Structure 1
Amino acid sequence: MEFEKLHVFFRRVSTKGQDIATQEAADLSYRESLNPDEVMIINENAVSANKKSINDRPEMQKIISLIKEDKVDTIYAFDRTRLFRDFYDGMEFTDLVLKHEVKIVFTSVGNGHLPASDNIFMEGLLSLFSDIEGKNIARRSGETRRRYPPQLLGYRNDKETKKYSKDSDKKEVIEQFFSALTEINTIDELHSLIKTFQKDLKCKSEMSLINMARNPFYAGHDLVKGINKLRHVDPYLSLETFDQLQKAKDELFKAYVNTMEQINVLVKLFSPTCGYCKKTLNYRQENTSVYGFFICSNKAHRKVKVKIPIIELQKIVEQVFQEVANKLDYKKLCSHSLESFKNIKRQTESEISIIELQIKEFMEEFLLGSNQYSEDWKMDPRYKKANHLKEEKQQLVNNLSQKEMLLENNKDIAQIVEKYLNNRSRVSLPLLYSLIIKQLIIYEQGLDIEVFAFDYLQNMQTELIYEGDESAWI
Structure 2
Amino acid sequence: MDYIDVKKLYTQNIVLYCRVSTAEQDILKQITLAEIYLSQNDITTDTVKRFIDDNVSANKLAAKDRPEFQKLLTEIMSGTVDTLLVQSRDRLARNFYEYVELVKKLHQFKVKVVFTDPGQPLFSQVLAIESLYGIFPQFDGRTIARRTQQTRLRYPNAILGFDVIGKRNEKRYIPHQEKANELKSFFYSVIDSQSPENLIELFIKHRKFFKNPEKALKCLQNPFYSGHLQYQDEYIPLLYVEPLISLEEYLKIQRVLAKYEQELQNAIASSTNNGINTPICHICKKPMHFRPTELGKSGYYVCSKKHPKIQIEVRLFNQLITNHLTDVLERIQVKELKKDVCNYLFQLEKHYKQELAFLQNQLNTTHREVTDLIGSNKTTTLKQLIEQGKSIEKAMIKLDMLLEKIGQAQSGIDRFVSIVKQRVTDELQNYQIEYVFALLFSKVEVSTDALIYHTTFSNYIEGNDFSNEDSA
Give 2:245's aligned residue.
237
- Does the Cα contact within 8 Å between 2:213 and 2:268 map onto a contact in 1? no
Give 2:409's aligned residue.
404
| Percent identical residues | 25
Q: Distance in 1 between matches of 2:173 and 2:422?
A: 54
Letter in 2 for 1:19: D
- Does the Cα contact within 8 Å between 1:330 and 1:414 map onto a contact in 2? no
- Does the Cα contact within 8 Å between 1:210 and 1:253 map onto a contact in 2? no
SS at match of 1:441: strand
**Residue correspondences, number:** 397
After TM superposition, give the deviation of residue 286 of structure 1 in Å.
2.2
Structure 1 residues 423-472: Cα deviation after superposition (integer angstroms, max 9, x where no partner):
56632221121122332222223332222222322226445897xxxxxx
Tell me, yes or no, if structure 1 residue 438 matches structure 2 residue 442: yes
In the superposition, relative to structure 1, how do residues 281 and 415 fare at CA in structure 2: closer, same or farther (>3 Å)?
closer
Give 2:71's aligned residue.
62
Letter in 1 for 2:424: N
From 104, 108, 116, give the equivalent of 2:117.
108
After TM superposition, give the deviation of residue 259 of structure 1 in Å.
6.8
Give 1:285's aligned residue.
292
- Does the Cα contact within 8 Å between 1:154 and 1:174 map onto a contact in 2? yes
In the superposition, relative to structure 1, how do residues 403 and 230 fare at CA in structure 2: closer, same or farther (>3 Å)?
same
After TM superposition, give the deviation of residue 16 of structure 1 in Å.
2.1
Tell me, yes or no, if structure 1 residue 306 matches structure 2 residue 310: yes
From 237, 242, 250, give the equivalent of 2:258.
250
Equivalence map 1:369-380=2 (5 Å):
none
Give 2:218's aligned residue.
211
In structure 2, runs of 5+ residues without a counterpart are 1-5, 346-403
Letter in 1 for 2:437: Y
Q: Distance in 1 between matches of 2:315 and 2:106?
A: 51
Give 1:228's aligned residue.
236
Letter in 2 for 1:230: L
How big is the alpha-carbon RMSD for the aligned residues of Structure 1 and Structure 2? 3.6
Q: Distance in 2 between matches of 1:460 and 1:66?
A: 50
- Does the Cα contact within 8 Å between 1:325 and 1:422 map onto a contact in 2? no
Q: Distance in 2 between matches of 1:464 and 1:71?
A: 50
Tell which deviates more after alignment, 428-437 or 272-281: 272-281
After TM superposition, give the deviation of residue 210 of structure 1 in Å.
1.6
Structure 1 residues 90-131: Cα deviation after superposition (integer angstroms, max 9, x where no partner):
34444543454433222232xxx1342437576555443333
In the superposition, relative to structure 1, how do residues 415 and 130 fare at CA in structure 2: closer, same or farther (>3 Å)?
closer
**Length-normalised TM-score, structure 2:** 0.72
SS at match of 1:266: coil
From 315, 318, 331, give the equivalent of 1:327.
331
Give 2:383's aligned residue.
none
In structure 1, runs of 5+ residues without a counterpart are 342-398, 467-472
Structure 1 residues 27-54: Cα deviation after superposition (integer angstroms, max 9, x where no partner):
2234453256742111111111222333
In the superposition, relative to structure 1, how do residues 42 and 421 fare at CA in structure 2: closer, same or farther (>3 Å)?
farther
Equivalence map 1:69-468=2 (5 Å):
69-98=78-107, 100-109=109-118, 113-118=119-124, 123=130, 126-159=133-166, 161-182=170-191, 183=193, 185-186=195-196, 193-199=202-208, 201=209, 203-225=210-232, 226-250=234-258, 252-253=260-261, 256=264, 266-267=274-275, 269-287=276-294, 289-296=296-303, 298=305, 305-334=309-338, 402-405=407-410, 415-419=417-421, 421-422=423-424, 426-427=428-429, 428-459=432-463, 461-463=465-467
Q: Distance in 2 between matches of 1:232 and 1:254?
A: 35
Give 1:357's aligned residue.
none
In the superposition, relative to structure 1, how do residues 5 and 194 fare at CA in structure 2: closer, same or farther (>3 Å)?
farther
Structure 1 residues 378-412: Cα deviation after superposition (integer angstroms, max 9, x where no partner):
xxxxxxxxxxxxxxxxxxxxx997451356xxx75
- Does the Cα contact within 8 Å between 1:5 and 1:71 map onto a contact in 2? no
Letter in 2 for 1:242: Y
Q: Distance in 1 between matches of 2:313 and 2:445?
A: 14
In the superposition, relative to structure 1, how do residues 222 and 406 fare at CA in structure 2: closer, same or farther (>3 Å)?
closer
Letter in 2 for 1:415: V
- Does the Cα contact within 8 Å between 1:425 and 1:432 map onto a contact in 2? no
In the superposition, relative to structure 1, how do residues 84 and 444 fare at CA in structure 2: closer, same or farther (>3 Å)?
closer
Give 1:350's aligned residue.
none
Tell which deviates more after alignment, 3-12 or 80-89: 80-89
In the superposition, relative to structure 1, how do residues 153 and 336 fare at CA in structure 2: closer, same or farther (>3 Å)?
farther
Give 1:28's aligned residue.
35
Q: Distance in 2 between matches of 1:185 and 1:3?
A: 77
Q: Distance in 2 between matches of 1:460 and 1:320?
A: 16
Q: Distance in 2 between matches of 1:136 and 1:82?
A: 15
After TM superposition, give the deviation of residue 281 of structure 1 in Å.
2.7
Structure 1 residues 149-170: Cα deviation after superposition (integer angstroms, max 9, x where no partner):
1110111122165221211120
SS at match of 1:433: helix
- Higher radius of gyration, 1 or 2: 2
Structure 1 residues 169-215: Cα deviation after superposition (integer angstroms, max 9, x where no partner):
201111121123342744x765654343231x2x4443221211111
Letter in 1 for 2:410: M
SS at match of 2:174: strand
Letter in 2 for 1:53: A
Q: Distance in 1 between matches of 2:421 and 2:22?
A: 46
